[in-house]
């Protein structure tokens, strides 16, 4: 696809639509939109606009569609696969002004929000009404709910409460030709034609621009227990994961963290934690509910499983402050790794009983190719984030040989029944690995679907495939 540049005339039309102050061309400000949280990648858009209404988006897309100008839609820029990077230049639409919680419907336990609402702001707003929206990525304090929809984002609580697919009921979306649709209905069940809501979720801004999101909410659990279990080895910790579910308990979070990650959090995030010798890995386990006895019963079952898997020690958080501190360790791990070294993050996901094989294999591949990795993630979902750190690797190896190592990691993931990404998306940096899992037929279908929504290919070009 040959795209065109944004001319002065088109720029004037953008300004007429959204107002002069909502169009950014000054390089210093544009540079804020040239990167997300993916490695150290930088791509400049030609122009950034900050629309505020669905009519703005519709008018902007119509112009770009007619003029063949690439359009990249950006949420908070917390993505880890480069999905929001404007790799073909063109127009970047920032959704930052779509920041209203339009309605929290306590009668139906549903909410309607704009995509630029920060996920944690939304979680807190519904919590105030005794309700739970359980999709809480580690970046919840800064990421936008629209980005979560685009990437099919997860988070710790998905393991008990279901993925974002179970919570997003309906979407208002603008197609590249400017048409506005509601993808489905505000209903808990839907069997009325191909489900476009589900198709939009995880489509990474390549099919349309989401402008409103209707979510399901559920009653909020009132109590929880949080424990941190220590294990001598990664494999011990990983093997305990599937055993907990087999024992009949579904925790509200079941997170894995490697020792190295913990060390870096202690070093970089100033968190006080007594890291004992001989400990190789941790599971952070939360059990929630409305009844203390049931939670304690579940914890007892979990404890039995942990003991049977060489668990060295279990720390029960005994205050809200300690719970917050333990969660902070987990949530800041990505940032600590990043501040410590150049890194690449892979988002492997496998059936959960395959986790011990996965982590063992990752370390073997690392040894073979000479890279260090720090692994952590939503082990209850079989979802392991593999942070490959440059550390002592030569630039030459980092830029060339590493790709073969990542290829081996994904081959292993696929051989275990898994796939390339569980919740980060494919975006820019994972797309080259997609043929490891998917065949030509798959690509033909995906490209066909893209063609149906976006015949000129203007929306987030260069992503996924």
Q: Indicate the residue among 129 and 368 with the shorter CB distance to a copy of itself.
A: 129
Q: How far is CA 29 from CA 32, 52, 91, 182, 379, in A?
A: 6, 19, 14, 33, 39
Helix (H) or strand (E) holding 55: helix 54-67
In whole angstroms, the minimum distance from the beta carbon of 230 to a copy of itself comes to: 24
Stretch that binds a copy of itself, among 1-9, 35-43, 195-203, 223-231 (CB under 8 A): 195-203
Token pair in block for residue 227: 């424990």
In whole angstroms, the minimum distance from the beta carbon of 186 to a copy of itself comes to: 4
**What would the DSSP string read from start to end of 317-359?**
P-SHHHHHHHHHHHHHHHHHHHHHS-EEEEEEE--GGGHHHHH
Closest CA relative to residue 44, chosen from 22, 29, 57: 29
Rounded Cα distance, 81 and 38, in Å: 6
375 binds a copy of itself, rule: CB under 8 A: no
Q: Indicate the residue among 10 and 196 with the shorter CB distance to a copy of itself.
A: 196
Instruction: Kindly report the three-state secondary structure assignment for every residue of 356-422.
Output: HHHHHHHHHHHHHHCCEEEEEECHHHCEEEEEEECCCCCHHHHHHHHHHHHHHHHHHHHHCCCECEC
Site for a copy of itself in 69-128 (CB under 8 A): 105-110
151 binds a copy of itself, rule: CB under 8 A: yes
Total binding residues toward a copy of itself, as defined by CB under 8 A: 92
Stretch that binds a copy of itself, among 46-54, 96-104, 154-162, 327-335 (CB under 8 A): 154-162
Q: Indicate the residue among 159 and 389 with the shorter CB distance to a copy of itself.
A: 159
285 binds a copy of itself, rule: CB under 8 A: no
Closest CA relative to residue 1, chosen from 54, 81, 70: 70
**DSSP assigned state of 10:** H
451 binds a copy of itself, rule: CB under 8 A: yes
Closest CA relative to residue 336, chosen from 235, 257, 227, 421: 257
Site for a copy of itself in 376-415 (CB under 8 A): 378, 381-383, 414
Q: Indicate the residue among 336 and 421 with the shorter CB distance to a copy of itself.
A: 421
Helix (H) or strand (E) holding 242: helix 234-246
Rounded Cα distance, 325 and 315, in Å: 13
Q: Indicate the residue among 10 and 464 with the shorter CB distance to a copy of itself.
A: 464
Stretch that binds a copy of itself, among 32-40, 190-198, 324-332, 386-394 (CB under 8 A): 190-198
Residue among 12, 42, 102, 181 that touches a copy of itself (CB under 8 A): 181
Site for a copy of itself in 411-440 (CB under 8 A): 414, 417-426, 434, 437-439
357 binds a copy of itself, rule: CB under 8 A: no
Residue among 45, 184, 261, 405 that touches a copy of itself (CB under 8 A): 184
300 binds a copy of itself, rule: CB under 8 A: no
Site for a copy of itself in 229-248 (CB under 8 A): 242, 245-246, 248
353 binds a copy of itself, rule: CB under 8 A: yes
| Residue that is written with structure tokens 């707003």 in the block | 125
Q: Indicate the residue among 97 and 165 with the shorter CB distance to a copy of itself.
A: 165
- Residue 5: phi and psi, rounded to 5, are -85, 160
In whole angstroms, the minimum distance from the beta carbon of 223 to a copy of itself comes to: 12
| CB 348 within 8 Å of CB 358 | yes
Closest CA relative to residue 391, chosen from 411, 376, 369: 369
Residue among 58, 72, 119, 153 that touches a copy of itself (CB under 8 A): 153
55 binds a copy of itself, rule: CB under 8 A: no
In whole angstroms, the minimum distance from the beta carbon of 30 to a copy of itself comes to: 28
């Amino acid at each position: 696809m040959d795209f065109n540049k944004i001319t002065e005339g088109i720029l004037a039309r953008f300004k007429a639509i959204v107002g002069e102050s909502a169009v950014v061309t000054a390089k210093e400000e544009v540079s804020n939109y040239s990167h997300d949280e993916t490695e150290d990648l930088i791509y400049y858009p030609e122009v950034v606009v900050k629309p505020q209404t669905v009519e703005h988006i519709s008018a902007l897309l119509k112009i770009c569609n007619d003029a063949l100008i690439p359009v990249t839609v950006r949420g908070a820029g917390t993505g880890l696969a480069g999905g929001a990077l404007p790799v073909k230049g063109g127009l970047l639409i920032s959704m930052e002004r779509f920041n209203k919680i339009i309605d929290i419907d306590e009668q139906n336990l549903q909410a309607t929000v704009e995509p630029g609402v920060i996920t944690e702001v939304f979680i807190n707003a519904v919590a105030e009404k005794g309700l739970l929206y359980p999709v809480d990525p580690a970046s919840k304090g800064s990421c936008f709910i629209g980005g979560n929809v685009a990437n099919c984002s997860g988070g710790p609580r998905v393991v008990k409460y279901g993925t974002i697919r179970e919570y997003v009921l309906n979407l208002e979306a603008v197609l590249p030709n400017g048409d506005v649709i509601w993808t489905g209905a505000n209903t808990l069940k839907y069997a009325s034609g191909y489900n476009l809501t589900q198709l939009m979720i995880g489509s990474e801004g390549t099919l349309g621009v989401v402008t409103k999101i209707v979510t399901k909410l559920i009653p909020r659990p009132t109590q929880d227990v949080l424990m941190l279990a220590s294990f001598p080895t990664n494999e011990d910790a990983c093997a305990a994961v599937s055993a907990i579910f087999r024992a009949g308990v579904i925790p509200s979070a079941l997170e894995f963290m490697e020792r190295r990650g913990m060390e870096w959090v202690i070093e970089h995030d100033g968190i006080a934690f007594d890291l004992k010798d001989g400990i190789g890995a941790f599971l952070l386990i939360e059990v929630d509910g409305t009844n203390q006895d049931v939670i304690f019963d579940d914890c007892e079952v979990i404890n039995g499983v942990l003991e049977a898997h060489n668990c060295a020690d279990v720390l029960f958080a005994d205050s809200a402050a300690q719970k917050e501190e333990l969660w902070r360790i987990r949530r800041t791990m990505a940032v600590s790794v990043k501040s410590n070294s150049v890194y690449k993050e892979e988002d492997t996901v496998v059936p959960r009983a395959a986790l011990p094989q996965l982590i063992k294999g990752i370390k073997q591949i690392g040894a073979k190719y000479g890279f260090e990795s720090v692994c952590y993630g939503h082990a209850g979902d079989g979802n392991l984030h593999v942070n490959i750190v440059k550390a002592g690797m030569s630039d030459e190896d980092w830029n060339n040989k590493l790709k073969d190592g990542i290829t081996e990691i994904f081959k292993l993931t696929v051989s275990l029944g898994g796939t390339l990404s569980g919740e980060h998306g494919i975006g820019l940096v994972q797309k080259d690995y997609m043929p490891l899992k998917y065949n030509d037929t798959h690509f033909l279908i995906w490209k066909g679907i893209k063609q149906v929504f976006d015949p000129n290919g203007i929306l987030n070009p260069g992503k996924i495939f």
